[in-house]
């Protein structure tokens, strides 16, 4: 058996390394260009589309929330509990929870200093929706009540918020019959 020996001279080695490095540089340049093109496409084409999708989703979210609220409260101004809402109010025990926690919740509402009936209504609904934040330890009671009423906690808190608004509006200096009235 005969072995073949390949000898590479210095000139050939320099040419091979140079060709390799030039190929590597060209590949790196192409990769950088492609990444730049992708970045440009993301910024110029996809990002504006995502903004539009976010805006449309927000609009749909508001409409779905309104439909959800309509299941438990009559859609008029001011929104009032319907028969199903009243069943949840009684069946969940949220009424007694709100009566027991009235002082804490009312203090939280007043601390936000609503200036008109609309702001007061939104503040009442917001504070009741965040009741566990203002009344630590009430979450288990809310869960049990939601289970008894066959609803989720958000629904129980919405119903409770509408009921509570009716109870505390006069104490906040507002009338339910005139949501546009500004506070003196």
Given a cut of 90, whether residue 123 has pLDDT beyond it is: yes
- Binned at pLDDT 50, 70 and 90, residue 19 comes out as confident
**Are 131 and 97 part of one and the same domain?**
yes
Given a cut of 50, whether residue 57 has pLDDT beyond it is: yes
Residue 4 domain-assigned (yes or no): no
* Beta strand segments in the chain, E: 73-74, 80-81
**Are 25 and 110 part of one and the same domain?**
no
Q: Coil, strand, or helix at residue 81? A: strand
**Are 48 and 104 part of one and the same domain?**
no
Q: Using CA atoms, how far apart are residues 183 and 137, in angstroms rounded to an integer?
A: 33
Return the biggest CA–CA distance within the chain.
Answer: 111
Output the six-digit token pair for 111: 């601390």
Residue bearing the bigger pLDDT, 53 or 17: 17
Residues 6+ apart with CB under 8 A from 95: 89, 160, 163
Residue bearing the bigger pLDDT, 47 or 32: 32
What mean pLDDT is predicted for residues 92-116? 94
Given a cut of 80, whether residue 67 has pLDDT beyond it is: no
Given a cut of 90, whether residue 178 has pLDDT beyond it is: no
> pLDDT tens across 146-170, in order?
999 999 999 999 999 999 999 999 9
Output the six-digit token pair for 108: 């939280």
Asked which of 70, 102, 117 is the last residue of a domain, the reply is: 70
Prediction pTM value = 0.61
Where b means 16+ CB within 10 Å and e means fewer, 139-175 reads eebbeebbeebebebebbbbbbbbbbbeebbeebebe
Instruction: Tell me the average pLDDT of the chain.
Output: 83
Owning domain of residue 84 = 79-172
**Are 115 and 154 part of one and the same domain?**
yes
- Binned at pLDDT 50, 70 and 90, residue 120 comes out as very high
Given a cut of 50, whether residue 70 has pLDDT beyond it is: yes
Given a cut of 80, whether residue 91 has pLDDT beyond it is: yes
Q: Using CA atoms, how far apart are residues 135 and 108, in angstroms rounded to an integer?
A: 10
Given a cut of 70, whether residue 60 has pLDDT beyond it is: no
Q: How many CA atoms does the CB half-sphere of 149 hold within 13 Å?
A: 28
Residue 179 domain-assigned (yes or no): no
Residue 104 domain-assigned (yes or no): yes
Give the pLDDT of residue 181.
Answer: 46
């Amino acid at each position: 058996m005969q072995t073949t020996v390949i000898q590479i001279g210095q000139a050939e080695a320099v040419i091979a390394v140079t060709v390799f490095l030039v190929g590597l540089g060209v590949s790196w340049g192409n990769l950088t260009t492609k990444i730049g093109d992708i970045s440009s496409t993301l910024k110029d084409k996809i990002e504006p589309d995502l903004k539009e999708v976010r805006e449309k989703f927000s609009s749909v979210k508001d409409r779905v929330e309104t439909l959800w609220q309509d299941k438990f409260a009559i859609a008029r101004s001011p929104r009032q509990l319907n028969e199903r809402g009243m069943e949840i109010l009684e069946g969940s025990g949220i009424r007694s929870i709100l009566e027991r926690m009235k002082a804490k919740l009312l203090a939280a509402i007043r601390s936000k200093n609503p200036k008109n009936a609309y702001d007061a209504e939104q503040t009442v609904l917001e504070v009741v929706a965040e009741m566990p934040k203002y009344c630590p330890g009430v979450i288990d009671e809310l869960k049990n009540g939601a289970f008894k009423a066959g609803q989720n906690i958000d629904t129980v808190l919405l119903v409770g918020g509408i009921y509570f608004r009716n109870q505390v509006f006069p104490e906040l200096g507002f009338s339910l019959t005139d949501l546009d009235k500004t506070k003196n």
